[in-house]
Amino acid sequence: MRTVELLLDETADLCVREAWRRLAEAGLPSQARHRSPTNSPHLTLATCAELTAPIRWELAEVAAALPLPVRFTGVVRFERPTSVLAWALELDPVLAGLHRRVWEAVASDSPPGTLNPFHEPARWTPHVTLGRTRRAGAFAGRRVSGLLPAPPLPVWLTTVRSYDTETGALEVLEPRS
């Protein structure tokens, strides 16, 4: 499986890593505990089985539209198969359009039923994960906002990358020249 992600500017990246550190110090699930060298704050747009040539073509166009300013709107919690604590991002028309473009690219060249339905434009909630665990309700009833640093404003989405979950390889997707 391949991810399509957007990386944050350096200031926002450092702020998210500080939030990770504070959650870990408080004994809460935190992405700081994920020791892979590929672990970095990011916004996931979609996942797909492979990055085919048509998908790559569209992702090069998306990369050309960066950097893109966005705004954190606050803390959000998800209870999916895992419990997730994240900073939500405002879904303004520009980010929504960029996401729809990526979704349509991966959907048009992926086998039916292989895409994550949480990434569909009508269901997608843009966020940067702060902590995740398989323990259901791990963040329920926890007051975490006092633990977290204030998110930076604005945040810039700067780079398109893809992570290969089978090989562990990272690939930065550049704009076409």
Domain spans in the chain, listed from the N-terminal domain onward = 2-173
Contact 50, 61 (CB under 8 A): no
Distance CA 86, CA 76 (A): 5
Q: How many CA within 13 A on the CB side of residue 78?
A: 20
Rounded (10°) CA dihedral 174, 41, 86, 94: -30
Length of the chain: 177
Instruction: Give the residue carrying structure tokens 């990526």.
Output: 102
**CATH 3.30.70.100, applies to 2-173:** no
The pTM (predicted TM-score) of the whole model is: 0.93
> What tens-digit pLDDT sequence spans the chain (177 residues)?
999 999 999 999 999 999 999 999 999 999 999 888 789 999 999 999 999 999 999 999 999 999 999 999 999 998 877 899 999 999 999 999 999 999 999 999 988 888 999 999 999 999 999 999 988 877 876 678 788 998 888 899 999 999 999 999 999 999 987
Write out pLDDT tens, residues 149-164: 988 888 999 999 999 9
Read off φ and ψ for residue 146, nearest 5 degrees.
Answer: -70, -20
Contacts of 28 (CB under 8 A, 6+ apart): 85, 131, 138, 139, 142, 144, 147
Instruction: Write the CA distances from 154 to 8, 68, 94, integer angstroms.
Output: 11, 10, 15
